[in-house]
Structure formats: C-alpha cells, structure tokens
Amino acid sequence: MLSNFYKLPRIILRLVKAIRAARSMKAIEEVSIFYNKNKAHGTLLFYSIALLLIIVYCSFGFYNFESPLNDQVVTFGDALWWALIPVTSAGYGNIYPTTTNGKIIAIILTLGGMGLFSVLTADILSIFVKQKQ
C-alpha cells in the first residue's frame, strides 16, 4: 500500500510531461501552418528561432566549460554577451575561450551563428525591397 503512495508523484510528473509535450506539438503545428501560409515571414521566423537557439545553447556550453577556469566568465550573462559578439562579428575580444571545449564551441558559434545572422539580415532586407517595389 505504501509503495503505491510513492508511485503517485511519478505518475503525476509523467502526466505533466505528456501535457507539455502535447502543447509543444500544438505549437509546432501552429508554426508550420504560419510557415505554409506565408513563406517569406515563415522563413524569417525559422531563421530567427534557429539563431536564437544557437546563441543560447552555445552560451550554456561556453559557461559550463569556461566559468570554472576563466576569470572573465563569472555569470551566464557574460557567456551570453560573449556569444553575441562572434555572431554579429563585432569582435570586441574582451571575453575569449581558454579551454579546448570553449574553442570548439566558439568555432561552432562563429560558423553557424554568423551564417544564420547573415541569412537573417538578407531575408529582412528582401522583405523591405519587395514592399518598396
């Protein structure tokens, strides 16, 4: 009887996870409907989400690898600031990776992030050019 009592919170947590998964599926469906209705704005949304995910995930990785060994990375905000610099190609250089894993993340962020940022700005520009014509 007591063992069933301890299983109840696990069942509730699984139910909550299932509800969250169903909500995310609904959100994905709504995004795909929006994308199919308007390809130009849908592509812009896709690039924006992909760029945001690359920046956030690389910031998490950079923070996890660099914060114990790098005095420049104290908070997650420092890692997020670092991630925005290579993506926008500003190149301040005040925060830089010192570990091998941090350098690998920097390479991934620079190649993927700068590429997506370039495509995103070109896509925004094409929308303005189409509206002017």
User: In the predicted model, what is the mean pLDDT of the chain?
Assistant: 78
Task: Name the range with the highest mean pLDDT among 31-35, 36-40, 119-123.
Answer: 119-123
**Token representation of residue 79:** 């890692």
User: What angle (nearest 5°) sits at the alpha carbon of residue 88, between those of residues 79 and 72?
Assistant: 25
Q: Quick check: 77 and 97 in contact, CB under 8 A?
A: no
pLDDT single digits (tens) 77-125: 889 988 888 887 777 778 888 889 989 998 888 888 888 888 888 877 8
Q: With contact defined as beta carbons under 8 Å apart, do 117 and 87 qualify?
A: yes
Q: Tell if the pTM clears 0.75, that is, is over it.
A: no
Sequence ranges of the domains in the chain? 1-37, 39-132
Query: Which pLDDT does position 50 carry in this prediction?
Result: 83
Contact by Cβ (8 Å): 95, 72: yes
Question: Class for domain 39-132, per CATH?
Answer: mainly alpha
